[in-house]
Amino acid sequence: MLEIKDVTVKFGGVTALNAVSASFTQTVAGIIGPNGAGKTTLMNVLSGFVTPVAGAVNRDGQDILTIRPHRRAHWGLRRSFQREEIADDLTTFENVMVQLDHGRAGGGDLRGEVEQALAFVGMSDRAHVHGAELNTFQRRLTDVAKCMVGQPQIVMFDEPAGGLSLDESKHLGGLIRKMGAETGAQVLVIDHDVDLIREICIETLVLDFGERIAFGPTAEVLDDPKVKAAYLGIEEVEA
């Protein structure tokens, strides 16, 4: 279980997150909301890139906000960014390996683990291709493989389907769902693609202007009038 408790973030006079709380109990959960809702800020809080003025984030009794940002990856935090962060001059294999280089699972069959992750995402045949030669979808798959290795505890995907075709997006969604079951990690997915969220996330947190406006089973949350209003505008809902 991942428990986010009263997380508040302020940038000067702007409150980006206002006492946001949520207890994620399902393996794959979504975080949605209109632009500027605070989704990525929440992810940045978990990553350690943004320090909240108040709040705590607990996973199995460990407050991850007390861990230094780069040590969170050692602990088991994984994340992908809106833009795939794949090093152009490293091969696909090396791009995944770099996650294990600094992971907590010292020793063991690291190469085997990378090969397994690449096989899982269907990138085994591109293992020795440089990042610069991969297309957007392949880079995104490499990102997923990176998030799989080294016993992840929490995996966060920030708009993973951005720039992908419908089929690619569907394939990626399937992988993310399978990944949650396979690794046992808490998977959090931020995306504007509501169909993708509906497809893969069992529960969903909705933010708007830094406030939690809904949280619960995805189907229920997406039918919530407040959520529709936040996404589509009040007039359309009323109409």
Partner 1 sequence: MRGIYHITPSGWAGLAFAAFCFVVLPEISGRLWLSVFTSTGCFVVAIAGVAFVYARLGMVSLTQVGLMGIGGWVTLRLGYYWDLPFEVNVLIAGLVCMVFGCLLALPALRMRGLYLALVTLMAAGGLDIIFVTFQFPNGGEGFWGVAMTGGQQIAGPVLAAGPEGYLRLVVGVALLSFLLIEAHCRTKPGRAWAMIRRSEASAIAVGVNVALYKTWAFAIAGLLGGIAGGLLAGSIGILDAATFRATESIMLFVLAVVGGSRYWLGVVIAATLYKILPALLNNWGVSADLSFVIFGAGLLHAVITAPDGIAKQIYDGVAGSVTKKKQEATRA
Does 231 bind partner 1 (CB under 8 A)? Our answer is no
Q: Which of residues 99, 138, 183, 218 is near partner 1 by CB under 8 A?
A: 99
Nearest-approach distance from CB 87 to partner 1, in angstroms: 4
Residue 166 CA to residue 99 CA, distance in Å, equals 29
Residue 92 CA to residue 115 CA, distance in Å, equals 10
Residues β-bridged to residue 201? none
Q: Where are the alpha helices (DSSP H) in the chain?
A: 39-47, 69-75, 92-101, 110-121, 136-148, 166-183, 194-200, 218-223, 225-232, 234-238
Contact 203, 218 (CB under 8 A): yes
Nearest-approach distance from CB 93 to partner 1, in angstroms: 5
Does 11 bind partner 1 (CB under 8 A)? Our answer is no
The span of 13-21, 85-93, 181-189, 201-209 binding partner 1 (CB under 8 A) equals 85-93
Nearest-approach distance from CB 154 to partner 1, in angstroms: 12
Q: Which of residues 6, 25, 102, 181 is near partner 1 by CB under 8 A?
A: 102
Residue 4 CA to residue 17 CA, distance in Å, equals 12
Among all chains, which residue has been given the structure tokens 């969604």? 173
Nearest-approach distance from CB 95 to partner 1, in angstroms: 8
Does 136 bind partner 1 (CB under 8 A)? Our answer is no
Q: Using CB under 8 A as the criterion, what x/- string covers residues 61-80 for binding partner 1?
A: --------xxxxxx--xxx-
Q: Which of 154, 148, 161, 183 minimizes the C-alpha distance to 45?
A: 154
Does 128 bind partner 1 (CB under 8 A)? Our answer is yes
Q: Which of 144, 140, 121 minimizes the C-alpha distance to 131?
A: 140
The residue (of 40 and 204) whose beta carbon lies closer to partner 1 is 40
User: Three-state SS for 209?
Assistant: coil
The span of 41-49, 56-64, 178-186, 220-228 binding partner 1 (CB under 8 A) equals 41-49
- Positions in the binding site for partner 1 (CB under 8 A): 47-49, 69-74, 77-79, 81, 85-91, 93-94, 97-99, 101-103, 111, 128, 146
